[in-house]
Amino acid sequence: MMASLVSLLDESARAYPDQTALCFRDREFTYREMHRRVDALAGALAGLGVGKGGFAAVVSANSNVTVEVLFACARLGAVCERYNVRLSPRVIAQLLARSEARVAFVSAALRPALAEALVGIGRTLMIVDVDGGAGAECGGVPRYEELLASADPVPSTGDVDDGDPAMLLYTSGTTGLPRGVLLSHGALLRRTAIDIEGMRFSHDDILLCELPLFHVTFVSTLATLALGARLVIADSHKPADIAADIVRTGATRTALVPCLMRGLADYVAREGIELDTLELVIYGGEPVKPELLEHCRRLLPCGFLQGYGMTETTAAITMLLPEHHEHPRLLPTVGKAVPGMEIRIVDDEGRACAAGVPGEVLVRTDTLMLGYYRDPARTAEAVQDGWYRTGDIGFLDAEGFLTLVDRKNNLVISGGENVYPLEVSRCIKALAGVVDAVVAGVPDKRWGESLAAFVVRAEGSRISEADIVAHCARELGGYKKPHAVRFVDDLGRSASGKVSREQLEELKGLL
């Protein structure tokens, strides 16, 4: 196996030059064309001073550009930074100020606000318009396609080592700025091999890419391209458009967060649409209640595969495979460790927990991050003796299936009792008439902390605060019942299906 990530594209371009590699909007690129574009982009980056160990940033929604920049950087031994476009321009500018990027590929919609936030960044940063100025004047900013057309290609990979950094992805921090996670060429190549086997990719697959490429779930795109299969990048997250894209492209698989999975299932049932080509839905990002899985499996006649993982581990730690979904007792779990992942469950003193006993989930893998970017102290805190501390609380059963209880730093101590909000939110979401829920700890004069629940009711549901409190007391015990319940229209979950700390604070403001 070659050390550079771009070897995946090189091999597929040699084996399948005339097959379609990538589709985005009304454009299709064969493997030969994509290979040529990556070489041209590598030349353009080199001409702008980006070489081995250098950085280039992508601040854009999903497109072919997002994929091409990654491979072009890999060709040069440079690092591709991908930014969550849902972060505020101010935060993105702060992160760019800390990074070493010389070039930022930015979509037209984000460019004005980001340009204003970048004033005073402290260095020259070239902005490239990835949309080519379509429908608008670029105001002197280079257009992406023009950059490629004028470049001298770099057709061969530089001196790249397995352990060299290839990507910088950002993951939400508990405080302050998001953490930058550095992933190596080797970790990404090993991850690709794991996913090809574990997720059963084939050369004949057509992957509809729905989830943001600035999340670590993007590794499915690498598995697709490594096999010479077809990658279709979606341009909409509406259930009607997802269904139309599957029918139009003949997609065999897609990856969705649970809220999109439910939306697609409901839309297909309501409209009577047949998704004949769809073979697999990959999902994750948040806990999924068994009732939702059964609902989606009933309406979408295909296989389902759940992945639980972290950016720091280069995606999935465990997988709940399609055959596991046939056993109701396994649906509350997140599956078993994938090849290359070793899991330990430990107590607060670091001692191994027996089967069925909750503790912190630790992972050891050769796909582990190189570390947090410019944060050695936090890296040393997260990785100890080769084991990554996930911060998740869970337990293993006798067969090695992992059940998650909650995040360790979400622990609420109420009246001296430990309570994990995720367990309570799961209990609430199991109620008929509840669409979604999130639970958080809030200060309490009597108990120190108590629980507050924010609940989205189904249309027409008359479920009350008293119903929810009584249900939790009955199912979990009185000390785990929420002391306050607020009904809201939406929880503001992110593209990865999570409720951010900032959004949770806004919800707490409703109390």
- DSSP code per residue over 346-413: E-TTSPBPPTT--EEEEEEETT--SEETT-HHHHHHHEETTEEEEEEEEEE-TT--EEEEEEGGG-EE
Taking a C-beta distance cutoff of 8 angstroms, is the pair 108, 129 a contact?
yes
Asked if 412 and 419 touch (Cβ cutoff 8 Å), the reply is yes
Give residue-wise pLDDT tens across range 428-477: 999 999 999 999 999 887 777 899 999 999 999 999 999 999 999 888 87
Residue 214 falls inside a structural domain? no
- Domain assignment present for 483: yes
| Average pLDDT in the chain | 91
Find the mean pLDDT for residues 481-489: 95
Residues 250 and 346 in one domain: yes
Statement to judge: residues 391 and 361 lie in one domain: yes
Residues 301 and 395 in one domain: yes
Identify the CA nearest to 258 among candidates 233, 208, 293, 309: 293
* Mean pLDDT, rounded, for 405-431: 80
| Pair 20, 144 in one domain | yes
Residues 161, 98 share a domain: yes
- Evaluate whether residue 201 is within a structural domain: no
pLDDT at 136 over 80: no
Q: Is residue 140 part of a domain?
A: yes
63-115 per-position pLDDT tens digit: 999 999 999 999 999 999 999 887 888 888 989 999 989 999 999 888 988 98
So what's the pLDDT on residue 418? Answer: 67
- Of 144, 169, 184, which residue is a domain's last? 184
Q: By CB neighbour count within 10 A (0-12 exposed, 13-18 middle, 19+ buried), where does 368 fall? A: buried
175/311 same-domain check: no
Residues 435 and 398 placed together within one structural domain of the fold: no
Specify the CATH number for the domain of residue 378: 3.40.50.12780
Domain match, 114 and 57 both? yes
Q: What domain range includes position 45? A: 7-184
pLDDT tens digit sequence for 334-353:
999 999 999 999 998 999 99
For residue 500, what pLDDT band results from cuts at 50, 70 and 90? confident
- pLDDT at residue 274 is higher than 90: yes
Whole-model pTM?
Answer: 0.83
- Asked whether residue 321 is domain-assigned, the answer is yes
| 161, two tokens | 């080592």
User: In this predicted structure, what is the pLDDT of residue 33?
Assistant: 98
Instruction: Indicate whether 423 and 385 sit together in one domain.
Output: no
Question: Angle at the Cα of 436 (from 435 to 439), degrees rounded to 5?
Answer: 150
Same domain, yes or no: 43 and 95 = yes
Does 57 share its domain with 128?
yes
pLDDT over 70 at 173, yes or no: no
Task: Say whether pLDDT at 183 is over 50.
Answer: yes
Q: Are residues 135 and 264 in the same domain?
A: no
Which residue carries 């080519």 as its tokens?
132
Identify the pLDDT of residue 2: 56
CATH code of residue 177: 3.40.50.980
- For β-strands 341-346 and 315-320, DSSP reports them as unpaired
Measured on CA atoms in the order 441, 443, 447, 453, is the torsion positive or negative? negative
Q: Which is more confidently placed, 508 or 412?
A: 508
Return the ∠ at Cα 397 (arms to 391 and 403), rounded to 5°.
40
Considering the chain, what percentage of its residues have pLDDT values greater than 70? Answer: 95
Q: Which of 354, 383, 407 is the last residue of a domain?
A: 407
Q: Give the separation between CA 288 and CA 285, rounded to whole angstroms.
A: 9
Lookup: tokens for 61: 């929604």
Task: Give the H or E element holding residue 36.
Answer: helix 31-47
Torsion of CA 7, 13, 15, 21, to 10 degrees: 110
Helix axes 219-226, 7-15, angle to 10 degrees: 30
Whether residue 269 lies inside any domain: the answer is yes
Contact 435, 458 (CB under 8 A): yes
- What pLDDT does residue 29 have? 98
Number of domains forming the structure of the chain = 3
Q: Which of 116-125, 238-247, 357-366 has the lowest mean pLDDT?
A: 116-125
pLDDT of 40-52, one tens digit each? 999 999 999 999 9
Tell me, what's the pLDDT at 414? Answer: 80
Model pLDDT for residues 374-401, shown as the tens digit of each residue: 999 999 999 999 999 999 999 999 999 9
d(CA 104, CA 147): 13
3-state secondary structure of 468: helix
Mean pLDDT of 469-490: 89
Instruction: Give the per-residue pLDDT at 410.
Output: 78
d(CA 368, CA 383) in angstroms, rounded, equals 9
Closest CA to 94 of 80, 79, 83: 83
Q: Is residue 227 part of a domain?
A: no
| pLDDT of res. 8 | 97
Q: What is the CATH number of the domain that holds 479?
A: 3.30.300.30
Q: What percent of the chain has pLDDT above 90? A: 73
Bridge-based pairing of strands 387-396 and 402-407 is antiparallel
209 and 231 Cβ atoms separated by less than 8 Å: yes
Using the 3D structure, point to which of 375, 407, 439 is the last residue of a domain. Answer: 407
Contact 402, 363 (CB under 8 A): no
In a domain, 62, yes or no: yes
Q: Is 396 helix (H, G, I), strand (E, B) or coil?
A: strand
Confidence of residue 133 (pLDDT cuts 50, 70, 90): very low
